[in-house]
Structure 1
Amino acid sequence: MDEVSATSNGALENTSETVESKTGWLSKRTHFTYRWKPAWFKLGETKLLYGDKEEETRKSIDLVGAKVDVMDGDGVFGWTVTPKDGKRTFCLRAGSELERQDWMLAICQAQLRARAQPSNACVLQ
């Protein structure tokens, strides 16, 4: 049973909402050759997990404090994720503008649910 609590403005808030994990195939630019390679992605609570197969998401990108930016370009529906440590920027690409927006929104919501970002950190265009 879901718990519901009132916020300071009187609105009701669902406090035990289950988080559905977003999954799907995206393209990721490789670190050394800069080629686009398909990978299976799964959004966890504070990490973006990925791998070559749906069953094997062994690698992860930490979303706590990460910066997410749109990549503008010639028909490329991409965005970047730079983890808080800033050692590497991950370039991701979706198949459409709508898919990119869905992923970016899901990542932003995961960051906000984890209370890992300031309230103004997620701005989607």
Structure 2
Amino acid sequence: MAEAPATSNGVVRDSTELVSDKKGWLSKRTQFTYRWKPAWFVIKETQLLYGENEKAVQKKISLLGAHVKEVDGNEMTFTWTITPKGGKRTFFLKANSESEQREWIQAICDALVKSSTGHASTTCTVQ
């Protein structure tokens, strides 16, 4: 019988715990006031989870079938949008640099490609 993996402090983790593909700070535009607010983001399988900090990641955006689009404009530097499939809300995210933006968009695409193994073909198109 296999044992559950333990963390460095000896605490046993649930082996079904999702492994994070990418995590870090991004700015997210608020839905009603349109102000930019920092948030901690984590990609876990086909979900983009976010919250106020590393310990308060409670909200999620489904990436399955989501539409990802880069945004142009002076105030929108290093910004992209994610519109979940069938979603009525578009999420505006902003990185601190072009390379960080590219890394996040690539990680989102990679998560979608990984999730498509054994399922219908999934492609990631950034417009």
After the TM superposition, which parts of structure 1 deviate over 2 Å for at least 4 consecutive aligned residues?
116-119
8 Å contact kept, 1:24–1:42: yes
8 Å contact kept, 1:105–1:124: no
8 Å contact kept, 2:23–2:43: yes
TM-score, normalised relative to structure 1: 0.78
Q: What is the total number of aligned residue pairs between the two structures?
A: 107
1:6-48 deviation line (CA, Å, top 9, x unaligned): xxxxxxxxxxxxx652010000000010000000000110100
What is the one-letter code of the residue matched to 1:83?
P
1:84-106 deviation line (CA, Å, top 9, x unaligned): 01210000000000000000000
Aligned position for 1:123: 125
Q: What is the RMSD computed on CA atoms of the aligned residues?
A: 2.1
Aligned position for 1:100: 101
Unmatched tracts of structure 1, length 5 or more:
1-18
C-alpha distance in 2, partners of 1:50/1:89? 15
1:67 equivalent to 2:67? Answer yes
1:92-121 deviation line (CA, Å, top 9, x unaligned): 0000000000000000010111117745x3
- What is the correspondence of 1:1-125 to structure 2 with a 5 Å cutoff? 21-74=21-74, 76-115=77-116, 118-119=121-122, 121-124=123-126
Unmatched tracts of structure 2, length 5 or more:
1-18
Q: Which moved more, 1:36-45 or 1:66-75?
A: 66-75
Cα deviation for residue 56 of structure 1 reads: 1.0
C-alpha distance in 2, partners of 1:101/1:117? 26
Cα deviation for residue 122 of structure 1 reads: 1.9
8 Å contact kept, 2:50–2:58: yes
What is the one-letter code of the residue matched to 1:58?
Q
